[in-house]
Amino acid sequence: MAYAVQVEEDRVNKKIIEIARERDVMKLRVENIKNTLQCGDIRARDALFAQEADAQSGRVTRDRNGNWVRAQQYILRPDDKTVQVLNVCLRGQDAGNLAGLSTLDFTTTFKGNEGLKGWDLRDLPWGQWLETKIIKNRKLVYTGETPKRDYNYPDLDQMYVKFTNPSGEYLKESRWFGGEAHCHYHQFVMGEELELSSLKNGKHTYGYHYAEALTEPELYPATKVTLPEGDYGVENIEGAGFNYTFASDKSINVAFFKVDDYGDGPVESVDFADMWDAMRVNESWGSPQIGTNNLEIAIDREANYFDKPIDVVYIPMSRMLWKNKESNNFD
């Protein structure tokens, strides 16, 4: 039985490696993991993952439907300018159309030659970087003021979050940022993109639609707006997450649920402004809080757009097992 459990965990770890290897340029840290993956020693792979990751978490939990889920998550720095949160969920055959491996890949890249050298990931203002604000009809994120004021936080280059279901279908949302942070500690969002790959509907890419008279309370309007062909929007629905909307009548719902580790507590729906807002759950800087719980992210629950729903149990970064700060820093 113990070996069977270990093999199941290893299957999840192998999937995390596949996600990591999707990047075009892989540095030595991830190459080490790849080489160990080929050695056939399950325990050696586990040990090297723990060595290479800044943080890790693995737990067997239940989703909102009562299905057992093995969730494994690592936070890696494949190079000095990149942070990857790699999350894989494995459900058994009794989970119906959710059975198999579902994944989340949340990747952030940074500008400049130094990148993240010398930084501990827990000291970075994730709660601000992931909260969208509006100034003069333009989206931006605050980059925060460092405690000592004699140096700045790293400048953001690009972020994306990609969700994949057991059929290999995916939803990927990306955004990229302007140059260095302004004197008021913010960076403008220069563009956003939504990429969809569906067995039923093919592969499509959309750009975010910016309303002409955008104000912060109307960041994501409650009423559906008419979108030009090729654009997408976000429509908030109280108590039911939000919809990605398009020029046609189709939409894709994203719902969020707070679930505990054991399936004993009540399943509660949680609202977020957008996908970036969900990624900052349990962080500081006024981020949404769900306590010592996990966040289930359910995309297209009725499988109207995709062949199967995309459903991932995300372990907030606050619940990860972090290394000591001294061992995290790059010299």
**330 CB-near residues (< 8 Å, 6+ apart):** 77, 80, 116, 117, 118, 119
Residue 168's CB: how many other CB atoms inside 10 A?
12
What pLDDT was estimated at residue 52? Answer: 66
pLDDT digits (tens, 9 = 90+) for 115-135: 788 888 888 889 999 999 887
What pLDDT was estimated at residue 218? Answer: 45
CA distance 36 to 139: 43
| End-to-end alpha carbon distance in the chain | 43
Position 18 confidence tier, pLDDT thresholds 50, 70, 90: low
CA distance 77 to 81: 8
Position 328 confidence tier, pLDDT thresholds 50, 70, 90: very low
**331 CB-near residues (< 8 Å, 6+ apart):** 117, 118
pLDDT digits (tens, 9 = 90+) for 217-273: 444 444 455 667 888 989 888 888 999 999 887 899 999 999 988 877 778 899 999
> Which of helix, strand or coil describes residue 13?
helix
> Which of helix, strand or coil describes residue 279?
helix
**326 CB-near residues (< 8 Å, 6+ apart):** none
Using left for φ > 0, alpha for ψ between -120 and 50, and beta otherwise, residue 325 falls in: alpha
CA distance 192 to 160: 9
Residue 330's CB: how many other CB atoms inside 10 A?
12
Maximum alpha-carbon separation in the chain? 61
* Structure tokens, 55: 């943080």
CA distance 219 to 131: 11
* Structure tokens, 118: 């010398």
Per DSSP bridges, beta strands 231-236 and 202-208 are parallel
Per DSSP bridges, beta strands 242-246 and 251-259 are antiparallel
**Strands, E, within the chain: which ranges?**
55-62, 68-76, 82-91, 100-110, 133-135, 138-142, 156-164, 170-177, 186-198, 202-208, 231-236, 242-246, 251-259, 268-270, 294-299, 310-314, 321-322
What is the average per-residue pLDDT within 73-82? 86
CA distance 274 to 254: 9
What pLDDT was estimated at residue 258? Answer: 93
What pLDDT was estimated at residue 217? Answer: 42
Supply the pTM of this predicted model.
0.84
Give me the torsion for CA of 199, 201, 205, 210, rounded to 10°.
-130
Under 8 Å between Cβ of 246 and 227: yes
Under 8 Å between Cβ of 247 and 230: yes
Residue 35's nearest CA partner among 46, 23, 45, 47 is 45
Does the pLDDT of residue 110 top 70, yes or no? yes
Position 5 confidence tier, pLDDT thresholds 50, 70, 90: very low
